[in-house]
Structures are given as C-alpha cells and as structure tokens.
Amino acid sequence: MPPSTTPHPLRSSNRPGFESGPSAVRLVDLFAGCGGLSLGFAQAAHDAGRRLDVRLAVDFEGLATEVYSANFPGAAAVATQPVEEFFDGPLGSTATLAETRTRTSVGMVDVLVGGPPCQGHSNLNNHTRRIDGKNALYLRMVRATEILKPRLLMIENVPSVVRDRHDGQSVVDRADRHLRSIGYQVAQEVIPLAELGVAQARRRHIMIATASGEPDPRSVIEHATRDAEEHDLEWAIGDLVRTPEGSLLDQRPRPTPVNLARMQYLLDNDLYDLPNEHRPDCHKGDHTYLSMYGRLRWDRPAQTITSGYGSIGQGRYMHPDQPRALTAHEAARIQGFPDYFDFSACPSRSALATMIGNAVPPQLGKAIATAYLALASTMEEPEQSGTAQSA
C-alpha cells in the first residue's frame, strides 16, 4: 500500500483556529477536566466549517480549569466551582435563583457535555463503588439539561455506571426516565473506544439525548461508530521513541531497581507478561493481575490509561522497546490528545498524570459531534439552510 498522505492527527503542534467559522456550535462542558470532550467537539465543528463557542466550562479543580483555559482561550466563562453551585435545584422543580442566573449568562445552548467523576463506580476501585454519593452528580447533568435545554446532551461515564444507585434507584435509569419526561429522545451505549480510532482498549458508557425535532440519538450513535479506522500503539507513539527528555511531558519515569530488573527480564526473554516468580510475593500464587508489570505491544491498542501510566506496578505500562514505563507525552497521545494540546500549566509529573488519566479521549466527543452535525444539517435542509446561526 502506498504511504498515507493524510497528516497524522496527533503529531501536529499547530492548533486549528477553533474560534473561527461563520456559525457557532454553542457548548457547555460540566466536570470539564482539561477539556477532552470539548476538544472533540471543537475538532468536529472545525471539520464542519463551524466555530466552537464555549459558553461555560466548570470543574472544581483549579489546575483542570487552568489547563482548560489555556486550550480554550475564547471560552466565555471557565469556572473553578462545584457544578452543584450552578445547578442546585431538585429534578422537576422550577429554576432556582442560581439556575436562572446560569441560564441568563450562558444563553442559548446547542450542546451540553459532561463526564461526572467515576471514581465512585470505576471497576478499578473496589472500595467505594456503587455506594458513592458522587453518583448523584450524574443527575446534575440531567438537571442542567432541564435548565439549559440544549439540542444535544452527551454524558460520558464508565460502563459499570449502569449498575450504580442513588437513593435506592439506578442513576442511569432515572436520568433516562426524567429526560424522556421532559421531551428528550434518549439512547445509551457502551462504546469500545478502539473502534473510534483511540489506540487504547477503553470502553465508555454514553448517554445521548436530543431535543424533539433533532436527530434521533440512536442514529447519532450508529453514525458515530461506523467506519472509523482502528489504530495500534505504534500509530500513536511510534515516532516518540527517540524524543529527548527536555520537558516534563517527555521525562521518562525512573523505575525502582527491582522494576528495572523485571523490565530487562521481559526484554531479554522477549516476553510481554511477567512470570510469577519475578512478581512481588502477593502476586506469586493465583492472581488476576496479568497486565500488572506487563509490556505493551506495538501492534495492539494500549490498555486503559489511568493516572498510573508511569509505573509498571500499576498496569501494562512498560514501553514495548525500552525498560521504562510511559512518559506523559506518550500517555496523552494514547488518550488521543494531539501535540498542540497545552498541558504546561501542570507543575509536576504527578499533576500531569492525574490530568491525563482523568481525561476523556477527544475522539469520543469528535465522533458523536461529527455524526450529530451531519444528521442535523440534513434535517435542516432545505428550509433553514443558510439561515441558522447555530447548530
């Protein structure tokens, strides 16, 4: 096959002009983190010749909003506050004072996105899952929908969110029912992100809701998940093998002597899984931790990136060719962040690890946004084409 002439989407250091374009996609991002979902919507809007107008992004971590602001300098408001301060009313009630203020300052909204925290019910956390009060935050997305009335809602979470309960009820069922009761069409799906071109075996649950008269959310999901090219680790980070260690982003993790010996053993013996006799005592019997201390393969997607990507004791994070775990730059690429995304507000390797590990791969937002914009534009024609100023 001749080499592809399409520019590599992750290797560019030049940020596209997401703020330019004749008509705006007006977006609110709650639990925004560094802005993975926003970036995906920005990329899709840009490809469709539209500009992204971030009306409001909220996260209560100051470092997250600093990174967000650096990457979305045109955002009308980026707030370092709890989401509950903007949307504090019970589902189904009239707008509170805070909610009325939020609605007035944000104005008309095309898209509401959010990835409420999932530590409470991640499969990676055995202690607090399924009883965590954070599950109620999922329903703040529904309340925000009731107040802002976006055309499209997207809530992202871990697959096991469907088993989470709050006040004795499933949060996802409750969200689904309430959205339908206020006139939205709703669909849910667990999406293997590798099928969207993310070089990673990560699965995510999404709930998509659209206002009446907008594209059917099931079609949006079906459109989003068809025909994407799948990518392996080599595609994502193969060019970074000889990157010098200049910045924090490219600093190589320094392993302990015992982990260095484990990695050298894997390289010397051309192995990818560490035999039990080389593991710590607690892994020596029967265990389900095969990926821990494991080596990544160039020709497959990586395992799910967490904030532990810098240590082989946290998962299969050993570089395929070198006796070290992943750099932040490599982890960001595997998460789907292009080189133009600016993480420089993060002052340390651990801050970078939290920021990158918490992020939603932009390809997820991009696939949903691309599908929605394409379907919405076909619905607008012929009466509204050329007149609509937003989505």
Ligand X SMILES: C[S@@+](CC[C@H](N)C(=O)[O-])C[C@H]1O[C@@H](n2cnc3c(N)ncnc32)[C@H](O)[C@@H]1O
Tell me the Cα Rg of the chain: 21
Query: Residue 33 or 301: which CB sits closer to ligand X?
Result: 33
| Pair of tokens at residue 368 | 């949903």
CB of 200 to ligand X, least distance (A): 14
What single-letter DSSP state applies at residue 120?
Answer: T
Find the helix packing angle between 362-380 and 217-224, rounded to 10°. 120
CA quadruple 119, 122, 128, 129: dihedral sign:
positive
| Pair of tokens at residue 386 | 């050329």
**Any catalytic annotation for residue 282?**
no
CB of 112 to ligand X, least distance (A): 12
Give CA–CA dist 233/98, Å, rounded: 46
Q: 128, 120, 111: which is closest to 50 by C-alpha?
A: 111
CA dihedral angle for residue 314, residue 316, residue 320, residue 322, rounded to 10 degrees: 20
CB 113 within 8 A of CB 38: yes
Query: Residue 153 or 266: which CB sits closer to ligand X?
Result: 153
CB of 307 to ligand X, least distance (A): 11
List interacting residues with ligand X (CB under 6 A). 31-37, 58-61, 64, 82-84, 115, 117-118, 137, 358-360
Query: Residue 118 or 237: which CB sits closer to ligand X?
Result: 118
Query: Residue 24 or 32: which CB sits closer to ligand X?
Result: 32
What single-letter DSSP state applies at residue 278?
Answer: G
Query: Residue 118 or 369: which CB sits closer to ligand X?
Result: 118
**Residue in the block written with tokens 């924090």:** 248
CB of 362 to ligand X, least distance (A): 8
What SS3 class is residue 17? coil
- Per DSSP, what are the bridge partners of residue 302? 200
- Select which of 34, 118, 282, 346 is catalytic: 118
CB of 53 to ligand X, least distance (A): 17
Indicate the residue type of 2: P
Which residues are annotated as catalytic?
118
